Structure 1
Amino acid sequence: MEHEVFVPVDVETLRAVLADPARVAPCVPGLQQDADASAGPLSGRLKVRAGGHSITYRGALHIVAQEDGAYAVEGEGAEVRGTGSAKLALTVRLSPVDGGTTLRFTGTTSAEGRLAELSDDAAVSAAHRLLDRFAESLAATTATSAAPTASATAEAPDDVTDDQDVDDDGVDQGAESAGSVFDAPVPPPSLDPLAEAEFEVPDMPDGTLPDPGVEAAHARRTMIGRSAEEVDHAPPRGRYAPTPGPETASTTATLRWLAPAAALALASAVVVGRALRRRK
């Protein structure tokens, strides 16, 4: 199997990443590292998608630098669900080109179980896709690690700017200290609620000051909005309104009660008169 991938990263940066297994592990797509730190950063579970199937292997990868500048990658794993296994032997060569580096992968793979049941085209396509994603992760990792360094360099201030007037002792006499604003005295607030109120004083024809009583009345009208005379003559409303007196009984109501009483008295007189006549 042979495959080439372009990475927009210089050769030396890629060599620094490939020399550190801890930095290579996040770049391997589908790798779930073991919780045991003694197993190595490139040990764990690797999920591979090939031919519309997902196969998970448990194993380890090893990267060894060669004398000619290439890197030897060896790996083996067993299926988590099943009895199959797979082995990998690759050689990675880095070639500098304009704008980045070309990674050349050459090697062989052997498999038993579910991966061996797939066609050769499906297995090769899955391997190429895995290597492409690995190269993309390498580029993203190097770009992320280089971003903080570049930002820190850009944000570092110069020792002395051009617009500063620095004396011989190295102190900028024209610069104000950060605490100068807080050192200014602040007057205490006044306790008089009318101390900051503004009142309009009418002009007198003779140039004299108006009577203090008139000025106070004017201020009261300005703040309250209604004069004392308007408040005194305003009719009370609501709970302060006067309670009306009880209404007197009408003549009709009195006659309504007297008529039955008179009829009862007349009937009683008739009955008594008839009784007296019978006795005689």
Structure 2
Amino acid sequence: MEIPYDLAPPVQLAPTADLARHFMECGALNTNISLAPGKRLVITDDLLNGTITDMAAMTMAVIVSRDSQVARAALIPLGIAACRADAAAKERFERLFQLIEEQAFDPGVRGAVDALIVGRFREAQIRELVEELGGAVGPARVRYKAFLDTVRQMVDRRISGAAFLDEFIEFTHAVAGKLDFGIYSMCVDRLFGSANIPMSVKAFLLREVLRFPNLIRRELLTNLLASAASPDELVRYARVEMAGVLGRDQLREVFLFTTLKLSWQARQAILAAAPSGA
């Protein structure tokens, strides 16, 4: 079934990766799902290009993903499998989808799951899901590519910091809830870490991030605080700004998740340094 936007090539995951368990842990931690502890966030492509093929992992992604587009993307291969199943297997899929409907975090996903159950997983319904996903993600990615051109102009000093910041705000509003959050997050991370973006612009970006909803804000702030690419000056500024904006519990969450991400990074470094076959 053709996806109406270009997919990134599949990513090779560790053969021992237990994604379903990892996604469940992310859900319990109330954070976005990632390809592994310390790795990038899952995007819709990962569910559609063969990166993630385990049915249990897809099921958990539908249930616990905080990114509604990722949850919907995970629903598509599950729906295709149910559509193609024989009568006995289709009954098992129906029970699975009923469980998903009961447990899914995203209300829109619960509605889509209910429609699939009622319609007995008809192919036309799956196509509607695909078109709906593409209708949101496709234009958002076009807008994202346009913003990247603005970033290049900023790096080349062809636009002012003020013009860049206006474009960032407009871009954020345009893609909110449509662009994969993993892509948006990566974009912001790179802006914070780039040596070619002036500190004054980064400070404004940080103040904008502090205005975001808590889950999104926490993800971006903890990425900033945990990243080795983040300038020390920006990290110090972020800590001061957070202290003036966030409540005590919100600050505690940010610092706990920062510690968690640093521990994940340390574990990944140890695994990478271990001799092959050890």
**CA radius of gyration, larger in:** 1
Q: Which has the higher strand share?
A: 1
TM-score, normalised to structure 2's length?
0.25
Q: Which has the higher helix share?
A: 2
